[in-house]
Structure 1
Amino acid sequence: MGLFVVRASYGGPVAASNGRSKRQRGEIETLPSGSLRVKVYAGVDPISGKRHYLTETIPAGRTAAKEAEKVRTRLLAQVDERRNPRTRATLDQLLDRWLEVADIEATTRMGYVNKLNKHVRPVLGKLPVGRLDAETLESFYASLRRCRDWCGGKAYVKHRVEGDHRCTAKCQPHVCKPLSPSSVRQIHWILSGALSRAVRWRWIAVNPAGQAEPPAPPHPDPQPPNPADAARIINEAWRDPDWGALIWLAMTTGARRGELCALRWHHLDLAAGVLTLRRSAYLDDNGEVQEKDTKTHQQRRVALDPETIEVLTELHARYADRLAQLDATADPADYVFSPEPDNSRGYRPDTITQRYGRLAKRLGTDSHLHALRHYSATELINAGVDVRTVAGRLGHGGGGTTTLRVYAAWLSESDQRAAGTLAARMPPRPLAATQRTSSPYQTIAVELREQIADGRLRAGDQFPTVTELAATHSVSVGTAHRAVALLTAEGLVSVARGRRATVAHVE
């Protein structure tokens, strides 16, 4: 019986008893330092087209040869079971390839690219995809939560201008600002999507993002304006009636800012009292205004209350008057809200955000434009409107909106009730805007003012409920609520959510 003869060098041929020689898979090379490097062929790199090897180095030592053989066996098993990375491509290369093939909405893509370029590529971009693991990702997330500029705790001056320059007051010492948990979670899910595609392409065997733990989701904390602040906002906005109409519509419909910017006259059916939201405006990479589908890619119809119909009717009358002065004709495709006299161009979304921010700053209230959407939802839910109807009005992806997509559903009794309920809870428009002086709610407000003035209602007394006022004056609850809202705006009534209104302390 013949004997096996093994050559002294690693990776050399092995002599078999039948006289043939068979080359051993994988190589173990001795480096000048005495360390051993294990090298196993793992196919052709799909990115570079070159031969791809798995390598691992074993420090020199008495048991180095035995450890190297174990590593060779392990790497061969990975290749045989297709658990090895097939490429040395970096994360930058993966992200570039993924963004080429991913079917992502334009605004979503812009957000992804911005986050990747600002936070991911500078830190992890040059790292081979095969070397990414859960520990690396979780350490990266932790560094972002400490400082969005991943300074590593080192002090330095943050320059406003790159390269050689003369520093000014804008060149300030760096101050660590953590990235919000929600932004870190977004980065995690972006990376998870790209790495999932890498698994499908067999660039890597396992998605490391699936093993990493992202930050916990933040607790929802909507902060809509309270009724008193909403009244102040409406009154301040109505200094410009067209701007006031935009804020009013944002409150009553909960429409997104992009939807308001893309709204055209043919989207309004004032006779039927229905607003159709089909398009949304956004800024492209060049800062130019473009239009796309709504966020959920669905058109939706929102019922309008009589007061809002009147607001839009007056807005259209002002638009027609301007066209008459310009000797131009009305076009149904003109924008409802526009900075141009002929309404030929819609607002930029960032313009109305900034204008609203200046309005809130003048009033000394901490509010942003999206808070008006929260206001609409909160007031409807507090009024008892079912969540399914509220979700439908706001165009949320969940909450049964798919069944509310049909035109008839939007004219259902619940949606009409939602429109009327929100109108009743809206703060009153300024008298100059309503052009009325003897509305029922104003009559009620006059009588209540007299009761406060002559001491029948004293500071701190509980105010009559809207139900009591409606019964006393034979009006609807909505009309009574508007009377209370008017007195609240004047500072005569103190209203807090969840508590009964009281007569305010007037100094």
Structure 2
Amino acid sequence: MAASNGRTKRQRGEIETLPSGSLRVKVYAGVDPISGKRHYLTEVIPAGRTATKEAEKARTRLLAQVDERRNPRTRATLDQLLDRWLEVADIEATTRMGYVNKLNKHVRPVLGKLPVGRLDAETLESFYASLRRCRDWCGGKAYVKHRVEGEHTCTAKCRPHVCKPLSASSVRQIHWILSGALSRAVRWRWIAVNPASQAEPPAPPHPDPQPPNPADAARIINEAWRDPDWGALVWLAMTTGARRGELCALRWHHLDLAAGVLTLRRSSYLDEDGALREKNTKTHQQRRVALDPETIEVLRELHGRYLDRLAQLDADADPADYVFSPEPDNSRGYRPDTITQRYGRLAARLGITSHIHALRHYSATELINAGVDVRTVAGRLGHGGGGTTTLRVYAAWLSESDQRAAGTLAARMPPRPAAPTQRSVASSPYQKIAADLREQITAGRLRPGDQLPAVAELASAHGVSVGTAHRAVALLTAEGLVNVIRGRRATVADHPHP
């Protein structure tokens, strides 16, 4: 029955006549689990002769959606769906770890207990908006963020909470993770419609690569070359644009210095337990990158230092040894986070805002600015787009364009610094140990024939690994200050003159 105020009310839902003559259908759908506000489904029917009939159909349809949510086909929660989805989804190891981390940190604490059937587009968009306001779900309330759980006496580490929004790119990643899980739920007939397909995530952020400029690149190279092995790694990252995991997994048999080609096949990563593992490259395909003459010389000198260390250790060279390693015999590769942290400290010392991934941006930017075609640049950097199918072909990597790209980037690289002299300031732990022993020999506190402290003692005294101490002794041996005989402790040379 029509009411005097222009509304036709029924037991469930209502149809309201708007000033324009259109009809607005409104159905109560419960309480929003994110904001706690009453939630309504609405639909506007344009004015017309059949508007009333269409409004009734819309009301019936909206009521059916509400009933389906209140009585879903399954009572499974979002947590249960995510667990089941992660069991069957074919996801790469590092991608899976990223998914699990985001779900555990941002999704499960808020939406995990919500039945899958009650999840809708409005709830998801409210969830995304909350993340964009504060990643810690403070709800706008002030509180103290304690560093220790349970009863304790607050210290300076217990500070008032400051809202930090989650980046738009992270929220978009969460959206696509949920969309994939909910799409599988539709296929399993847990729900009828994927609510994520109706929700709108934040707009994608505009690309903002910030590679170091040529002047900063020269400063970075000069600072890195205080340790020539580390300098070689930074140089190779600049000239090839290789990812940090690819550099960590690089072995000597991946280098063909005679042909001037570097093959990138594997990538290092840390598993859930923090152990170092290897996998295929990000695009699951190997790529061959042409090297310029200067980079080839850098790698030849690096290989020469590697052979010298093995000679001091009375060990044989192995093509499967790592190109970059914290061990004197190159038996173990770097952890990717070690590369990130060391480069970050280097940039901080120079007052440059940069990270290791910016060297990929530097390589790409310099090549594009020099006029190299984008397809070739994408091939060198291993990007998934930009002619991926063609770049899978082995011959494409040895194309004339790629050779020209290698020479072009070499011409734009800053001059390579000379290797530091033995009197230069020691920057690495093994160099500091060697400098301390060198000073004792020069001052006469260690005389010719005297035994050096055992490697284990040096490692303990300086708080380093045994491998680092071995490297210090190997450096002094190469300088002619120390004699090493296998099975015996190192001794000061009879004529300790470098």
What is the CA-CA distance between 1:239 and the residue it aligns to? 0.0
Write the distance in 2 (CA, Å) between the matches of 1:52 and 1:257: 48
- Change over 3 Å in CA distance of 1:152–1:73 after alignment to 2: closer
What is the CA-CA distance between 1:340 and the residue it aligns to? 0.2
SS of the residue 1:248 aligns to: helix
Q: Which runs of 4+ in 1 moved over 4 A?
A: 14-84, 433-505
Residues 145 and 181 in structure 1, CA contact (< 8 A), matched pair in contact too: yes
Q: 1:160 aligns with which of 134, 142, 147?
A: 147
What is the CA-CA distance between 1:165 and the residue it aligns to? 2.4
Residues 144 and 184 in structure 1, CA contact (< 8 A), matched pair in contact too: yes
Write the distance in 2 (CA, Å) between the matches of 1:419 and 1:466: 43
Residues 80-123 of structure 1: CA deviation (Å, up to 9, x unaligned): 99997310111001000000000000000000000000000000
SS of the residue 1:40 aligns to: strand
Residues 190-212 of structure 1: CA deviation (Å, up to 9, x unaligned): 00000000011110001111111
- Change over 3 Å in CA distance of 1:372–1:450 after alignment to 2: farther
Normalised by the size of structure 2, how large is the TM-score?
0.72
Residues 225 and 419 in structure 2, CA contact (< 8 A), matched pair in contact too: no
What is the CA-CA distance between 1:65 and the residue it aligns to? 22
Residues 69 and 117 in structure 2, CA contact (< 8 A), matched pair in contact too: no
Q: Does 1:499 align with 2:488?
A: yes
What is the CA-CA distance between 1:405 and the residue it aligns to? 2.1
What is the CA-CA distance between 1:56 and the residue it aligns to? 20
- Change over 3 Å in CA distance of 1:392–1:94 after alignment to 2: same
What is the CA-CA distance between 1:431 and the residue it aligns to? 3.3
Residues 425 and 482 in structure 1, CA contact (< 8 A), matched pair in contact too: no
What is the CA-CA distance between 1:408 and the residue it aligns to? 1.6
Write the distance in 2 (CA, Å) between the matches of 1:208 and 1:155: 33
- Change over 3 Å in CA distance of 1:31–1:190 after alignment to 2: same
Gaps of 5+ in 2: none
Greater shift after overlay, 26-35 or 249-258? 26-35
Residues 262 and 290 in structure 2, CA contact (< 8 A), matched pair in contact too: yes
- Change over 3 Å in CA distance of 1:88–1:475 after alignment to 2: closer
What is the CA-CA distance between 1:425 and the residue it aligns to? 0.5
What is the CA-CA distance between 1:369 and the residue it aligns to? 0.4
What is the CA-CA distance between 1:406 and the residue it aligns to? 2.1
Residues 327 and 467 in structure 2, CA contact (< 8 A), matched pair in contact too: no
What is the CA-CA distance between 1:160 and the residue it aligns to? 1.1
- Change over 3 Å in CA distance of 1:318–1:43 after alignment to 2: same
- Change over 3 Å in CA distance of 1:206–1:407 after alignment to 2: same
Residues 278 and 299 in structure 1, CA contact (< 8 A), matched pair in contact too: yes
Residues 377 and 390 in structure 1, CA contact (< 8 A), matched pair in contact too: yes
SS of the residue 2:174 aligns to: helix
Residues 228 and 489 in structure 1, CA contact (< 8 A), matched pair in contact too: no
What is the CA-CA distance between 1:164 and the residue it aligns to? 2.2
What is the CA-CA distance between 1:411 and the residue it aligns to? 1.0
Residues 316-345 of structure 1: CA deviation (Å, up to 9, x unaligned): 000000000000000000000000000000
Q: 1:442 aligns with which of 431, 449, 456?
A: 431
Write the distance in 2 (CA, Å) between the matches of 1:223 and 1:439: 28
Normalised by the size of structure 1, how large is the TM-score?
0.71
Write the distance in 2 (CA, Å) between the matches of 1:41 and 1:475: 66
Residues 51-88 of structure 1: CA deviation (Å, up to 9, x unaligned): 99999999999999999999998799779999973101
What is the CA-CA distance between 1:312 and the residue it aligns to? 0.2
What is the CA-CA distance between 1:222 and the residue it aligns to? 0.2
Gaps of 5+ in 1: 1-13
Write the distance in 2 (CA, Å) between the matches of 1:499 and 1:320: 21
Greater shift after overlay, 21-30 or 375-384? 21-30
Write the distance in 2 (CA, Å) between the matches of 1:119 and 1:134: 17
Greater shift after overlay, 234-243 or 54-63? 54-63
Q: Does 1:212 align with 2:199?
A: yes
Residues 192 and 210 in structure 1, CA contact (< 8 A), matched pair in contact too: yes
Write the distance in 2 (CA, Å) between the matches of 1:488 and 1:233: 30
What is the CA-CA distance between 1:434 and the residue it aligns to? 12
Residues 493 and 503 in structure 1, CA contact (< 8 A), matched pair in contact too: yes
Residues 328 and 468 in structure 2, CA contact (< 8 A), matched pair in contact too: no
Write the distance in 1 (CA, Å) between the matches of 2:469 and 2:393: 34
SS of the residue 2:29 aligns to: strand
- Change over 3 Å in CA distance of 1:390–1:62 after alignment to 2: closer
Q: 1:70 aligns with which of 44, 57, 63?
A: 57
Matches within 5 A, 1:143-182: 143-182=130-169
Identity between Structure 1 and Structure 2 (%) = 91
Residues 134 and 166 in structure 2, CA contact (< 8 A), matched pair in contact too: yes
Write the distance in 2 (CA, Å) between the matches of 1:19 and 1:314: 88
Larger Rg: 1
Write the distance in 2 (CA, Å) between the matches of 1:334 and 1:64: 77
Write the distance in 2 (CA, Å) between the matches of 1:366 and 1:324: 40
- Change over 3 Å in CA distance of 1:429–1:79 after alignment to 2: closer
